[in-house]
Chains A and B, each alone.
Chain A
């Protein structure tokens, strides 16, 4: 509250404070440009981070929690082995339920590959048992050992085996996005600090005159803070707007590519990039303030 009031006071307040520092065209434009670029990149990092998070969540929810056991056995042993597998599953921790798939279900699964006229009766089609896991699921290796002992024809098809690296990759991509955002925040702060310091150093004589006629440090600091905060706010607004337009017009992931989800923002996530300019201005405010007070002490 106090801080917000102070910031508003600095920004709306004395325009004279701004005028006492001579205009600095080149540095000003450079600061605005950098702020715009950083905001632009941050929007993308944010989009990447959110999209990969969504992707990982989708994959996990869709695929995790189920696995299949395939039994290939001579006709006579099929029933016995199915029973044995179900028995094993009943006594395995981490398994909610297991059931033998009906012939109709299996037919439906195979249809896309073999067509509707598959002669199910004459083919040695393996029997499938659908397993619903609970909690963290069963220990795959242990379950496999037990299955091979009890039902030699049973093969555990553990989807998570091939899925896990994808989810891991998505999570890592998400962390990369978050780290990028942090790095951009850090470099923006560093850039503003350097720019503010060089602006103060370049205006050493102005500062000296101001001090001699009785200006307090906070007055001089405000002149610079106001300027840099407004510049960064403006740059960040431009960068964010451009990036959001770009993201908005990015092609949506088509239905068949839903696997890869769109890179855009969804729903309330559109609010997040809108927060970038005010946060950048906040960052600029404190970075400049710190740099200015520090430089004033050092100049004197």
Chain B
């Protein structure tokens, strides 16, 4: 597990070479019901980078993230994930690709009949890697997100902030190459938001590629003071690359 490895000073599971593009968009666009939601987007998301994705509510941030793990198919242009065109992926390819991407959804979904602990284990269970995690690593992970004493609770019993942290823990348990977080601080107060961002910063320092959708500019400034994060902005369905003023 990544925490276990982190203690030894190494990070396992970094499969990509430095400088490689994990996500490539070429003229990608998404149309819904005849309306362009996103259009003419071009991007190379470099391995090891930390990006923010901003834009007003309804500008298409969630839609953009969905394109990045094939929850949606681009209606125009091409999207490549780990060098593979999403159009030629089989359902099994998609499943395997998602094992390398940790997603923190805007509305975190869990299996409500399983405990928090079992939900965190789920990505390992479904990929047949359950035996790879030691209980101590799972304990580390739970304490890292501050859910040690909530590990036997059921998801519906969690508060908004606890859900966000559980979702983050689940997103990283497979030691994914890429972490996509959709408004991870949306349902939590400023202090909890700070803590969650600190977790993402820590992950990036361990070598993970991070893409965080948020409209909270204060949070972005805070993170940028700690590491070199770049900001992508969605404006009028277009993706504006870094350099835009904040």
Contact = CB atoms under 8 A, between A and B. Distances in A.
Interface of A: 16, 19-20, 22-23, 205-206, 208-217, 219, 296, 300
B95 A205 contact: no
A16 B129 CA distance: 12
Interface stretch (B79-87, B109-117, B200-208, B230-238): B109-117
B123 A213 contact: yes
A214 B109 contact: no
Nearest to A217: B91
Nearest to B98: A214
B114 A20 contact: yes
Contact of B92 (A16, A23, A205, A216): A216
Contacts of A296: 91
Given A219-B126, A300-B91, A212 B103 contact: yes
A213 B170 contact: yes
B91 A23 contact: no
B222 interface: no
Contact of A210 (B92, B97, B112, B126): B126
Given A212-B71, A213-B98, A213-B170, A20 B122 contact: yes
A43 to B, nearest CB: 37
B92 A212 contact: no
A206 B91 CA distance: 17
Judged by DSSP, the binding face of A is helix
Given A16-B125, A16-B130, A20-B125, A214 B99 contact: yes
Contacts of B69: 212
Contacts of B27: none
B96 interface: yes
Interface residues of B, number: 27
22 contacts: A19-B114, A19-B118, A22-B111, A209-B111, A211-B95, A212-B69, A212-B71, A212-B103, A212-B105, A212-B109, A213-B99, A213-B170, A214-B95, A214-B98, A214-B123, A214-B126, A214-B127, A215-B95, A216-B91, A217-B91, A219-B126, A296-B91
- Sorted nearest first, the 7 A-B pairs with minimum C-beta distance are A215-B126, A214-B99, A214-B98, A22-B113, A216-B95, A213-B123, A209-B109
B84 to A, nearest CB: 15
Contacts of A217: 91-92, 95
Contacts of A205: 109
Most chain B beta-carbon contacts within 10 A, residue among A205, A208, A212, A216: A216
A209 B98 contact: no
B35 to A, nearest CB: 23
A20 B124 CA distance: 13
Interface of B: 69, 71, 91-92, 94-99, 103, 105, 109-114, 118, 122-123, 125-127, 130, 170, 174
Contacts, number: 61
B125 A214 contact: no
A208 B122 contact: no
Nearest to A203: B111
Most chain B beta-carbon contacts within 10 A, residue among A19, A208, A213: A213
Contacts of B71: 212
B95 A208 contact: no
A156 to B, nearest CB: 75
A71 B20 CA distance: 109
Nearest to B122: A213
A62 B134 CA distance: 76
B98 A212 contact: yes
Most chain B beta-carbon contacts within 10 A, residue among A214, A217, A219, A300: A214
Nearest to B109: A209
Nearest to B95: A216
Contacts of B125: 16, 20
A17 B114 CA distance: 12
Contact of A214 (B111, B114, B130, B174): B174
Contacts of A219: 126
Contacts of A300: 91
Nearest to B93: A216
Contacts of B127: 214-215
B91 A20 contact: no
Contacts of B118: 19
Nearest to A210: B126
A133 B105 CA distance: 86
A215 B123 CA distance: 8
B173 to A, nearest CB: 9
B178 to A, nearest CB: 13
Given A208-B109, A212-B69, A296-B91, 18 more contacts: A16-B125, A19-B114, A22-B111, A22-B112, A209-B111, A209-B122, A210-B122, A212-B103, A212-B105, A213-B99, A213-B123, A214-B99, A214-B123, A214-B127, A215-B126, A216-B92, A216-B95, A216-B126
A213 B91 contact: no
